Amino acid sequence: MSKQINVALIGNPNTGKTSVFNQLTGLNQKVGNYPGITVEKKEGICKLPRGVKAHILDLPGTYSLNTTSLDESVAVELLLNKNDKDHPDVAVVVSDVENLKRNLLLFTQIKDLKIPAILVINMADRMSRKGISIDIDLLEKKLNCKIALVSTRKETGIDKLRELIADYKNLSKAQNVDTSVIAPEYFEKLRETFPKEDVYKLWLVITQDVNFMPLEKKLFKDASSFATKSKSELKRLQQKETILRYQFINGILKETYKVDVNAAKGFRATLDKVLTHKVFGYVIFLLILLTIFQAIYGWSEYPMDLIDGFFASATEWVKDTLPPGVFTNLIAEGILAGIGGIVIFIPQIAFLFLFIALLEETGYMSRVVFLMDRIMRPFGLSGKSVVPLISGTACAIPAVMATRTIENWKERLITILVVPFTTCSARLPVYLIIIALVIPEGSLLGLSYKALTLMLLYLLGFGASIFSALILNKILKIKSKSFFVVEMPNYKLPLLKNVGYTVLEKTKSFVFGAGKIILAISIILWFLGSNGFSDEFKNAETIVTNRVKEQGFSSSSEIYFENNQNDLNTGLESDTDSAALQQKELEERAISQEIASYKLEHSYMGYMGKAIEPIVRPLGYDWKIGIAVLTSFAAREVFVGTLATIYSVGNDEEETIKNRMAAEVNPITKKPLFNLASGISLLLFYAFAMQCMSTLAVVKRETNSWKWPAGQLVFMSLFAYLVALIAYQLLK
């Protein structure tokens, strides 16, 4: 059996590194975090010629090995540390055919670490259109390396890349640039002090402290204290190294890289003028968002109805097929109800990720970052803060991690603290079920009221984050000064394979990540709702039957009768005996539902809910919603799964979760529990509340203190409660 080799995929941002990774690994990939650190780690398996298997590690995008962020530092540390299990046998450096000069800076640095390196020149399909010609043979000779000319769009060059990776042992390790000429005496002293170590590797270790943070220096403890020069002197030497490398690169490209200046150009500049215009840019962005939210509702309605009906039928089938008992109830009322409460939202979540992936693939997302910098500056944020805020629409956890790219501590801290206000995909199931229940049908200017409500909730979250940033900018007495620089990638048609992988990976991560929590909580809630210690719980059937005889049915049963009245009327017209039988069946079902409801109210969960009901009642909620709000602190999307479990416990009706929620009655007002007032209150509560313990844990890790996440939790919870209270009291 052949040995598995490690391959590091590295390159500048926007060079198509992800496309190359997807072509090499296909679906054999996974996403996680580096051990002990909140930086995303993508890895996959690639089958190579001659039966060789490669472990591909997609390193964070970096412009050079002179680190300025934690992402870049992670990449450098892996390249330096031979004892790391993922240390590469070969480095694949991905470059962009239009920005080859800048990309070669990173390539020459990696080559000088004496790691076997392959240069991938990506987007080869753009060469003829941009008037670019490259003498590949001469470039290989000058750089003393092997080159793969690749087009991921046309799927060319990947087979050659696989062959080069498999043949990595024959790649040259010769250095491109002698860095020691920038300070001969200093580098000579390094050689004398550490004769067994590579001098360029030592130089990189020493200089990392200058830019961002110390690397893990177990192998180079003495070297890390060898920075006899001041930080400013080391910085100047780094600049000299960069100039030296560009002199080398310019000399090579003058002979090997030609551009026809008369080639077609100007389209990008024209489009940028429109999309980043100080008026039209915002209008276009708003229209794009409106279109996205309209599509999320319109396109996903049919598959959601199918999923909802499937789980209702599956629950009924389990109860009819399996013998009655605890195990059957656990499957039907606990497991199926909980899972169904989250699976139903897969279509809408997948569509959200689809549109985000499309915006990123086309290059438009970078224009949004540039556009929003004008808005962010007065609030103490930079344009770079927009990246975490936009990432927050998927999940607050990676969004908080994304603040690592913000060098200024004050801007980074403020961004971390306000990111949870942005509407993440975990809030989406809550929003969708409540909007479906309380927002009426209809449209305005061709956009449905429901889509507009969802859009407003997203804008509300973004507005809250900006307003909070303004307050924090005034409160936090941290001196700061920063400059905003963003790279505008070329516009390109989205690569459907990349979009597909992104949607699949993100949706799968969301569903399985939330699914584990929801399944566990659903089982716990089912147990708490199916068991009780009181006499009321044990004698529920007798108590309810006698109450119905004496006082009649409850308000919720009356709503149940109203929903079935049309069928009864039809029966009365056609067959009196049949209608009477149908009436009797409805009454039996109504009694069965009332018994289930009474038992639930006097179960362990019922008593827990009653204990917190005084706190949530002023917001228009009952004890069931209170339980759902409480459990959703584990993860926001658990709210729907909790209600799905609560309304399924002891229920034999083949009804969807939405129908059961719609039939719920407020015991005080005797009106539907989910109405406009309580619905808006719930929507606003979830728009502002810090309802995710995982986010708190990540914030603690990023700020290295419990002070900031504790402040987040208290402020956001109180603010959400106050806004929800005011909304309900005004609307009821």
Residue 558, marked binder: no
Residue 25, marked binder: yes
Separation between Cα atoms, residue 598 and residue 592, nearest integer Å: 10
Quickly state the pLDDT bin for 531 (edges 50, 70, 90): confident
Separation between Cα atoms, residue 80 and residue 321, nearest integer Å: 61
Residue 17, marked binder: yes
Quickly state the pLDDT bin for 101 (edges 50, 70, 90): very high
> What pLDDT sits at residue 499?
85
Residue 22, marked binder: yes
What residue type is 237 in one-letter code?
A: L
Residue 11, marked binder: yes
Residue 620, marked binder: no
Residue 669, marked binder: no
Which distant-in-sequence residues (6+ apart) come within 8 Å of 47 by Cβ? Answer: 53, 54
Tokens of 372: 């929003």
User: What structural domains does the chain harbor?
Assistant: 4-170 (3.40.50.300), 179-258 (no CATH), 510-675 (no CATH)
Residue 15, marked binder: yes
> What pLDDT sits at residue 318?
87
Dihedral of the CA atoms 527, 533, 537, 538 (nearest 10)? 110
Quickly state the pLDDT bin for 225 (edges 50, 70, 90): very low
Dihedral of the CA atoms 195, 201, 206, 209 (nearest 10)? -160
> What pLDDT sits at residue 564?
56
Residue 16, marked binder: yes
Residue pair 465/418 in contact (Cβ under 8 Å)? The answer is yes
Tokens 């005004």, residue? Answer: 730
Quickly state the pLDDT bin for 323 (edges 50, 70, 90): confident
Residue 40, marked binder: yes
Residue 45, marked binder: no
Residue 77, marked binder: no
Cα 371 to chain centroid distance, Å, stands at 22
Which distant-in-sequence residues (6+ apart) come within 8 Å of 684 by Cβ? Answer: 460, 720, 723, 724, 727
Least confident range of 177-181, 381-385, 428-432, 571-575? 571-575
Quickly state the pLDDT bin for 112 (edges 50, 70, 90): very high
Least confident range of 30-44, 262-276, 671-685? 30-44
Which distant-in-sequence residues (6+ apart) come within 8 Å of 632 by Cβ? Answer: 430, 638, 639, 642, 691
Residue 13, marked binder: yes
The dihedral sign for the CA sequence 63, 68, 72, 73 = positive
Tokens of 414: 């403020």
> What pLDDT sits at residue 212?
36
Give 275 or 666, the one with higher predicted confidence.
Answer: 275
User: Has residue 34 got a pLDDT over 50?
Assistant: no
Predicted confidence (pLDDT) per residue in 492-501, tens digit? 788 888 888 8
Quickly state the pLDDT bin for 210 (edges 50, 70, 90): very low
Separation between Cα atoms, residue 414 and residue 420, nearest integer Å: 11
User: Has residue 467 got a pLDDT over 50?
Assistant: yes
Highest mean pLDDT among 215-224, 325-334, 390-399, 561-570: 325-334
Residue 58, marked binder: yes
Report the percentage of the chain scoring pLDDT > 70: 78
Which distant-in-sequence residues (6+ apart) come within 8 Å of 62 by Cβ? Answer: 10, 11, 12, 71, 72, 75, 76, 106
Cα 215 to chain centroid distance, Å, stands at 28
> Which letter does DSSP use for residue 220 in this model?
G
Least confident range of 14-18, 155-159, 206-210? 206-210
Verdict on whether the full-model pTM lies above 0.75:
no
Average pLDDT for 326-347:
77
Residue 695, marked binder: no
Cα 552 to chain centroid distance, Å, stands at 51
> What pLDDT sits at residue 149?
92
Quickly state the pLDDT bin for 88 (edges 50, 70, 90): very high
Residue 36, marked binder: yes
Phi, psi (deg, nearest 5) at residue 149: -90, 115
> What pLDDT sits at residue 104?
94
Average pLDDT for 144-171:
90
Which distant-in-sequence residues (6+ apart) come within 8 Å of 540 by Cβ? Answer: 595, 598, 599, 602
Quickly state the pLDDT bin for 275 (edges 50, 70, 90): confident
Least confident range of 100-109, 157-166, 561-570? 561-570
Least confident range of 33-42, 298-307, 445-454, 654-663? 33-42
Residue 38, marked binder: yes
Question: DSSP H helical segments within 552-655, as ranges?
Answer: 555-563, 565-574, 576-601, 604-616, 623-631, 638-648
Quickly state the pLDDT bin for 547 (edges 50, 70, 90): confident
Give 551 or 568, the one with higher predicted confidence.
Answer: 551
> What pLDDT sits at residue 198?
84
Residue 26, marked binder: yes
Number of Cβ within 10 Å of residue 613's Cβ equals 16
Predicted confidence (pLDDT) per residue in 695-732, tens digit? 777 788 778 788 898 898 899 999 999 999 999 999 98
Average pLDDT for 369-375:
76
Question: For all residues of the chain together, what is the average pLDDT?
Answer: 79
Residue 8, marked binder: no
> What pLDDT sits at residue 644?
67
User: Has residue 120 got a pLDDT over 90?
Assistant: yes
User: Has residue 561 got a pLDDT over 70?
Assistant: no
Highest mean pLDDT among 224-233, 340-349, 668-677: 668-677
Residue 112, marked binder: no
User: Has residue 90 got a pLDDT over 90?
Assistant: yes
> Helix (H) and strand (E) counts for the chain?
34, 11
Average pLDDT for 663-677:
76
Separation between Cα atoms, residue 642 and residue 520, nearest integer Å: 11
Closest CA to 405 of 423, 420, 384, 421: 384
